[in-house]
Structure 1
Amino acid sequence: MKIIHHLLLSVTVAFSFADSFAQENAKAHNPVIYADVPDESIIRVGNTYYMSSTTMHMSPGLPIMKSADLVNWQLVSYAYDRLVDNDAMNLDNGKNTYGRGSWASSLRYHNGTYYVSTFAATSGKTHIYTTKDIEKGPWTTIEFKPDLHDHSLFFDDDGKIYMLYGAGNLTLVQLKPDLSGIVEGSEKVVIENASAPAGDNIMLKAEGSQLFKIKGKYYLFNITWPRGGMRTVVIHRADKISGPYEGKLGLQDLGVAQGGLIDTPDGKWFSYLFRDNGAVGRIPYLVPVEWKDGWPVLGTDGKVPQTLDLPANKTLIPGIVHSDDFSRKKGQRDLPLVWQWNHNPDNALWSVKKRKGFLRLTTGRVETDILSAKNILTQRTVGPVCTGYTSVDVSNMKDGDFAGLTLLQKNYGQVGIKIEGKNRFIVMINAGDGTPVEAARIPVTEKTVHFKAACDFTERKDMANFYYSTDGKNWNKIGTPLKMTYTLPHFMGYRFGLFNYATKATGGYADFDYYRIEETISNE
């Protein structure tokens, strides 16, 4: 009997442990999205959450994502197709807008209309986009000068509309009823030295404003960065939108900061924030919020928890990134929402219709390197590991053309076919130290070549390797490992990119048969 009793006890303990493990795994975990989705602004409309984010120099831009649980998100729209048509955004005349374009946005829902606003040094304007249907559009554009830095759009109960913006000293302005500009004489600095709750030795002045009204009080969230410390959340509150405001330190853990507040239909509160996480980019976190003495208290004992009392994270495929065989049925978009162009594309030089089941990239001008090349089609990398694949038919490329797969950032890596005279070479370029170096060159005769890049962002390892194959089955590593570095000039996590550019003459084209992404790392 003792043996049976001990056996039953062991089985019970084992099942209890397994059940506990299963329950723990059924919870959400941080980061909620292991990909570059910075500067989030989140609203809830009924039981559905919507989020806007920053993609800067990419087109289309100002992505809108949707979630039923705050954890698992899918792209549903972009607020604009093109931010502006100028040399910088078009990559013309030697100009670019890497690391600029549109920055932090403010997403709002008011009286049946969705509003998302942003600002851009590239245009010198503040941009407001409105729609009745956030998922299907269409979007209406309103623009005015100047560009109000890191503003928060706010509709007050009395019908007045405001923006609160700035860095360090934060300014409130009232907007005209039609949102076409600032009401003259309405500017007022409402908080001087908004970083003060985090100390007096500050290297990043308080910015990233997000303003909320909860139970009659105004709450303002900002990010700041004490010198020698970490990115920090500061919170201010006031009884009137014009102040006076009192402030306190909101969260100082893991460098998780910049964001705001969101509640669930059942009355729970969270703060949505992001963390700089090396080469993969700035990745979203959620922290639970409790209310004490009229203040939101962030985190679990002041810390960012690893798990959350929310539904478990699912794969980022297909919601945030996705594979594509470039086959299109009638009525489908030419490019799914997961794709964005590096800068504004030249739409005359790409097609998914000229050859069924292929993306065709045609050269339209001579380039010096990949960073100046038009029509690089990109998707995010994802962590902790991922692999991107493609296949290129190079039959119609011209002398000097270079086509293939890149990991795009200032310190990029690329692998592809380069045509020199009548010869074809697989070439790998490594710009990991800031200077592009040809790390490998292999002659080939095949007209179709497959390429892949495998990324390891685990614990900020930030390493990638490139591979090629002539049959799509047997892979060969090529060149040198790429040390990926998040650089401020590009201000974006690494992206997979499909490219074709000319270095001698225009008119050649490359046909890409597929793009595949996996949340695994493949070294073979």
Structure 2
Amino acid sequence: MNIYRLSAIFLFFLLNAGSSFAQQATNPVIYADVPDLSMIRVGDTYYMSSTTMHMSPGVPIMKSTDLVNWEMVSYAYDTLADIDPMNLDNEKRAYGKGSWASCIRYHNNRYYVSTFSSTTGKTYVFSTKDIEKGEWERHEFSPSLHDNTLFFDDDGKIYMIWGAGKLMMAELEPDFSGVKEGTEKVLIENASAPAGDNIMLPAEGSQLFKVRGKYYLFNITWPRGSMRSVVIHRADNINGPWEGRLALQDKGVAQGGLIDTPDGRWFSFLFRDYGSVGRIPYLVPVKWEDGWPVLGVDGKVPDTLDLPASKGLIPGIVNSDEFTRKKNDADLPLVWQWNHNPVNELWSVRDRKGYLRLTTGRVDESFVYARNTLTQRTFGPVSSANTRMDASNMKDGDYAGFCALQRKYGQVGVKMTGGEKFIYMISNETDTPVEMESLPLTQNEVYFKIDCDFRDRKDMARFYYSLDGKSWTAIGSPLKMEYTLMEHFMGYRFGFFNYATKSPGGFVDFDYFRVGAQLTEKQ
């Protein structure tokens, strides 16, 4: 064989090896805020639920066929409760509250999702036969059982485990009307113990699994001076005795559970706190040793996985929207969520063809109490979104535009003062909203853009406007984004808003929402 043929063969294998490597999935598998994930596999399809707290609709349900590429398929509920905190009424709000960690299960050809809410003081179980297109049946009872896991055992009994540090367990009534009287008990007195005795965050986030006849209970805990960690307990009987061990302590990747593939491989699905983009999902390979799931590669979270590569979060998790709707189209695709409960009479994608219209319905003193702010997730490592807004029908005292929503929010938009319009940028980086720049606007249509840079936790947002949609001008100052646990407790979101400070009834029209993964300027 001559040297040219050898070189050609070598080049062929080299290129194919590179191609194979490029097709591997990488961690994080979703570089966006999808916390408290719970997961099941039904046949060759995976379903996942997550937390979006005060957003409406709530408890998003996602679908995948490869554990890496996910798409939105449903929400467990449209409205958690018609109460003041969820409606932003009477100076009450539910930022960072609403519903928390959910648990998804499949039993007897039916899907179940449990969650809980300190806002309402209740525990919820939602069920459906068709997880992608069916209606969800709702069950609720008091009290609110923190970070609960729903479990259907082989003997027909239905259990719920909940708590922090001291974990409780009880049987549920078959109709999910509440806890069976006399069944509540302490399951594990100190579930944090395998991680030491100096604990900052007691073991919580329970998720229970049964594999080959044994019970495995996953929890997250946080030893002082260390990081979020995975603790696993196992037992031969659900009532115990339970033995526990520290299962993973790397990069703060924790809270989740087990999932297997149709070809017999095992993974643990977990999340990681990653600055202002939020809590982002990771997958960790699992092997079994002496009846224990062993997480990671030599105890570490790998950067690459033997799974198909991600095709990106667009259009499955976030997506552009031209607001064009056919007669039978849903008014809003599933990628959208409202900040708190919407007032449906005050928004429309039908009143003006190809536009989202937001109309003010009351006077608000603060942006954080404004109704009908429509949002989508930001994502990393960088993301950018832009829109065109028609401000023709604003009233004096109105503020409308585009925002990066979290507690320390940033806004770029149009305000109307003294009968004149101004482009403005507001920063709430210091927890006090400050107008950083204001410019006269002599036309009704204006374009806005927000860039988010999450690389290496840079966490910077920049705000732009344009008068022609071609040439962009930075306005105000960059916003140092911060993930705040108090109140908002979620990653930053792009959002449309419109609120009145003097009199209601003004409206603005947004022509489109276009999102991508390229910044306006090199940074």
1:197 to 194, 198, 203: 194
Between the aligned partners of 1:215 and 1:416, the Cα distance in structure 2 is 58
Indicate the SS of the match to 1:479. Answer: coil
Gaps of 5+ in 1: none
Q: C-alpha displacement at 1:8, in angstroms? A: 5.8
Correspondence for 1:318: 315
- The equivalent of 2:86 in structure 1 is 89
Aligned-partner Cα distance in 2 for 1:15–1:282: 40
Aligned to 1:101: 98
Corresponding residue number in structure 1 for 2:225: 228
Cα deviation for residue 370 of structure 1 reads: 1.3
1:350-398 Cα deviation digits (max 9, x unpaired): 0011111100000011111211110000000010000011111000000
Stretch moving more, 385-394 or 13-22: 13-22
Shift of 1:18: 2.9
1:245 alignment partner AA: W
CA distance in 2: counterparts of 1:446 and 1:8, whole angstroms: 67
Match of 1:337 among 330, 334, 337: 334
Amino acid at match of 1:337: L
1:12 Cα deviation from its structure 2 partner: 5.0
Describe the SS at the equivalent of 1:416: strand
Match of 2:256 in 1: 259
Corresponding letter in the other structure for 2:50: S
How much has 1:22 moved relative to structure 2?
1.4
Q: Cα distance, 1:501 vs. partner? A: 0.5
**1:239 CA displacement:** 0.8
Q: Which amino acid aligns with 1:520?
A: Q
- 8 Å CA contact 1:463–1:483 kept in 2: the answer is yes
Shift of 1:431: 1.1
Distance 2:430 2:266 in 1: 43
Structure 2 counterpart of 1:495: 493
Kept after mapping to 2: 8 A contact 1:387/1:521: yes
Candidates 399, 415, 419, aligned match of 1:418: 415
Q: Say if 1:408 and 1:495, in contact at 8 Å, map to a contact too.
A: yes
Deviation at 1:174, TM superposition (A): 0.5
Q: Does 1:75 align with 2:72?
A: yes
Give me the whole-angstrom Cα distance separating, in 2, the residues matched to 1:201 and 1:440: 48
Deviation track 1:102-122 (CA, whole Å, cap 9, x = no partner) reads 000010000011000100011
Moved more, 427-436 or 98-107: 427-436
8 Å contact kept, 1:36–1:281: yes
User: What residue is the counterpart of 1:521 in the other structure?
Assistant: 519
Q: Give the 3 Å change call, closer, same or farther, for CA 370–11 of structure 1 in structure 2.
A: farther
Q: How is 1:453-468 mapped onto 2 (pairs within 5 angstroms)?
A: 453-468=450-465
Distance in 2 (CA, whole Å) between partners of 1:509 and 1:494 is 25
Range that drifts further, 14-23 or 163-172: 14-23
Aligned to 2:371: 374
Pair 11,459 (structure 1): closer, same or farther in 2 beyond 3 Å = farther
What is the number of equivalent residue pairs in this alignment?
521
Determine the structure 2 residue equivalent to 1:505.
Answer: 503
Which residue of structure 2 lines up, in the alignment, with residue 432 of structure 1? 429
Deviation at 1:435, TM superposition (A): 1.8
Output the CA distance in 2 between the equivalents of 1:322 and 1:369: 29
TM-score by length of 1: 0.98
- How big is each residue's C-alpha offset from its partner over 1:193-243, in whole Å with a ceiling of 9 and x where there is no partner? 101111111000000000001111100000000001000000000011111
Q: Determine whether 1:474 maps to 2:507.
A: no
Contact 1:454-1:523 within 8 A present in 2 as well: no
Partner of 2:217: helix, strand, or coil? strand
Q: Structure 1 CA distance, aligned partners of 2:371 and 2:521?
A: 30
Summarize the Cα distance change of 1:9–1:522 in structure 2 as closer, same or farther, 3 Å threshold: farther
Q: Aligned pair 1:134/2:131, yes or no?
A: yes
Q: Is 1:124–2:124 an aligned residue pair?
A: no
Residue 112 of structure 2: aligned partner: 115
Percent of pairs identical after alignment?
Answer: 68
2:400 pairs with 1:403: yes
Post-superposition shift, 1:14?
Answer: 4.5
Tell me the alpha carbon deviations over residues 405-445 of structure 1, each in whole angstroms, 9 at most, x when there is no partner: 00000000000000012211001001122221110101011
Distance 2:35 2:381 in 1: 17
Rounded Cα–Cα distance in structure 2 between residues aligned with 1:363 and 1:408 = 19
Q: Which residue of 2 aligns with 1:214?
A: 211
From 345, 352, 365, the counterpart of 2:362: 365
Counterpart of 1:492 in structure 2: which amino acid? Answer: M
Q: Contact (CA 8 Å) 1:52, 1:106: kept in 2 or not?
A: yes
Q: Which residue of 2 aligns with 1:349?
A: 346
In 2, the alpha carbon distance for the partners of 1:462 and 1:342 equals 22
The amino acid across from 1:507 in the alignment is G
Q: Hey, what's the Cα distance between the residues in 2 that align with 1:522 and 1:333?
A: 32
SS at match of 1:65: strand
Query: 4+ residue runs of structure 1 moved beyond 6 angstroms?
Result: none
After TM superposition, give the deviation of residue 523 of structure 1 in Å: 2.4
The Cα shift of 1:177 comes to 1.1
Structure 2 letter corresponding to 1:48: T
Distance 2:280 2:147 in 1: 18
Alignment-mate amino acid for residue 273 of structure 1: L
2:492 aligned partner, one-letter code: Y
Contact 1:386 1:517 in 2 (8 A): yes
Bigger shift: 376-385 or 424-433? Answer: 424-433
Alignment partner of 2:320: what SS? coil
CA distance in structure 1 between the partners assigned to 2:196 and 2:8 by the alignment: 55
3-state SS of paired residue (1:514):
coil
- Give me the whole-angstrom Cα distance separating, in 1, the residues matched to 2:185 and 2:377: 40
The letter of the residue matching 2:18 is F
Equivalent-residue separation in structure 2 for 1:460 and 1:196 (angstroms): 32
Any unmatched runs of 5+ in structure 2?
none
**Which residue of the partner structure matches residue 270 of structure 1?**
267
**Paired residue for 1:63?**
60
Measured after TM superposition, the shift of residue 19 of structure 1 is 2.4
Give the Cα separation in 1 of the matches to 2:246 and 2:197. 13
Residue 520 of structure 1, CA deviation: 1.7
Instruction: Give distance in 2, aligned partners of 1:134 and 1:229.
Output: 39
Name the amino acid aligned to 2:89: D
TM-score, normalized by length of structure 2? 0.98
Greater shift, 362-371 or 80-89, is seen at 362-371
In 2, the alpha carbon distance for the partners of 1:275 and 1:184 equals: 38
Question: Partners of 1:277 and 1:352 in 2: how far apart?
Answer: 34
Q: Letter of the 1:496 partner, please give it.
A: F
1:276-320, CA deviations, whole angstroms, 9 ceiling, x for partnerless residues? 000000000000000000000000111001111111111110000
In structure 1, the residue corresponding to 2:21 is in which secondary structure? helix
Query: Per-residue deviation at 1:190?
Result: 1.2
C-alpha contact (below 8 Å) 1:55/1:63 kept by paired residues: yes
Does the 8 Å CA contact 1:150/1:165 hold for their aligned counterparts? Answer: yes
Task: Give the SS at the match of 1:154.
Answer: strand
| Partner AA of 1:60 in structure 2 | P
- Comparing 291-300 with 433-442, which one deviates more in the overlay? 433-442
